[in-house]
Structure formats: C-alpha cells, structure tokens
Amino acid sequence: MELTLLHNQKQCIMNSTESSVIENFFQWPDYVVLFLMLAFSAAIGVYYACTGGKQKSTKEYLLADGNMHWFPVACSLLARYVENVIDS
C-alpha cells in the first residue's frame, strides 16, 4: 500500500510538471543555502583547529578531563542503547 502511494505521488509530480522529479527538489537558492551552511561549518572547524580550543591533550578531549557530570553521560548511553535497539 505504501509503495503504491509513493509511486502515485511520484507519478503525480511528474505529470504535473514538464520537468523530471529531481529538478523539483533543488533549485539555485537551495544550492546557495547548502553552500553557505557548509562554508560556515568549515569555518568553525578551521577556527577551532587554529586556536586549539580548551583541550591540550587527547585524554582531556576524550574523557572531558574527568569533569563530566552523570546526567550527560547517562543521556549519551541511553541514546546509544535506544539506537542499537531500534536498528536491530
């Protein structure tokens, strides 16, 4: 049923316009926004790579220098557990 609906939606899109389905998804403003977001993200990465951030060693980065509270750790473990249950 779901596959039939999806097929009918694609066919409806193709019938309603003269162009293909792919051309309906990305126009030039979409590419501009995508490029700006990627450039902004890359700029943040370059900034923190150059300034070094607060962490001076790998241990400080990976273990948060032993200063993590229990709540963020518990949320992270719970999210990972739920993801594994959903994927299997």
> What is the pLDDT at residue 20?
53
Helix/strand/coil percent split, the chain, to 5: 80, 0, 20
Higher pLDDT, 49 or 80: 80
pLDDT digits (tens, 9 = 90+) for 7-51: 555 555 555 555 555 556 889 999 999 999 999 999 999 998 888
- Grade residue 71 by pLDDT with cuts at 50, 70 and 90: very high
Neighbours of 62 (CB within 10 A): 9
- Are the CB atoms for 61 and 55 separated by under 8 Å? yes
Asked if 21 and 13 count as a contact pair (C-beta separation under 8 A), the reply is yes
Q: Which helix (H) or strand (E) holds 45?
A: helix 28-51
pLDDT at residue 41, as a whole number: 97
Q: For residue 8, what pLDDT is reported?
A: 52
- For the chain, the structural domain boundaries read 57-88
